[in-house]
Amino acid sequence: MITHQEYFEQHIPHRVNLLITFRERFKGLPDEKGYYVRDLFRCSKDSSLMMIRFFLSELGVKLPRDIYALAIEKEKDRVQRVSQFQLLSLSIPDIEKDSALNQDLIDALGAANRAVAHINNDEVNHRFENEIDDEILFRVIDYVEDKIIANIYKSRIEYDRVMKLDSNNMHRDRLKIYK
d(CA 109, CA 95): 14
The one-character DSSP state at 35 is T
d(CA 154, CA 88): 10
d(CA 130, CA 75): 37
pLDDT in tens, 70-99: 777 665 555 544 444 444 455 555 666 777
71 strand-pairing partners: 62
The DSSP result for 39-108, as a single string, is HHHHHHHHHHHHHHHHHHHHTTEE--TT--S-EEPPGGGS-HHHHHHTPPPP-HHHHHTSHHHHHHHHHH
pLDDT < 70: residue spans in the chain? 30-38, 66-67, 73-96, 115-131, 171-179
CA 86 to chain centre: 20
- Domain ranges (residues) in the chain: 4-168
Residue 39: predicted pLDDT:
75
Residue 81: predicted pLDDT:
47
